[in-house]
Amino acid sequence: GIQVEQSPPDLILQEGANSTLRCNFSDSVNNLQWFHQNPWGQLINLFYIPSGTKQNGRLSATTVATERYSLLYISSSQTTDSGVYFCAVDPYGGSQGNLIFGKGTKLSVKP
């Protein structure tokens, strides 16, 4: 089945710094989503981005479907950005709605 790899696994930043998180996937996908899991476990939708570029405030994401990767950019990081960031894909031709998750990037933003 499709493999989803996220890097780096852990990231420590000083408040105000910028960062780039990467998601590589091994096959074609219908759908790609980025989530932020907060310390209470809730998954917050960041982007639904099967291709192209989107921006939402300090966050932006780019998916290059033909090269099978997606990037999440966080600018001017804040302590509230801490948590785990997941990339999830719906494989082309796979089970309906079966989002395959990467193992996540754990981000810690220090004041």
Partner 1 sequence: DGGITQSPKYLFRKEGQNVTLSCEQNLNHDAMYWYRQDPGQGLRLIYYSQIVNDFQKGDIAEGYSVSREKKESFPLTVTSAQKNPTAFYLCASSQGLIAEAFFGQGTRLTVV
With binding defined as CB under 8 A, does residue 102 bind partner 1?
yes
Minimal distance in Å, beta carbon 36 to partner 1?
A: 11
Of 3 and 18, CB closest to partner 1: 3
Binding to partner 1 by residue 69, rule CB under 8 A?
Answer: no
Tell me the three-class secondary structure of 8-61, residue by residue: CCEEEEECCCCEEEEEEECCCEEEEEEEEECCCCCEEEEEECCCEEEEECCEEE
Judged by the rule CB under 8 A, the positions of this chain that interact with partner 1 are: 4, 30-31, 33, 35, 40-43, 45, 48, 86, 88, 90, 95-99, 101-104
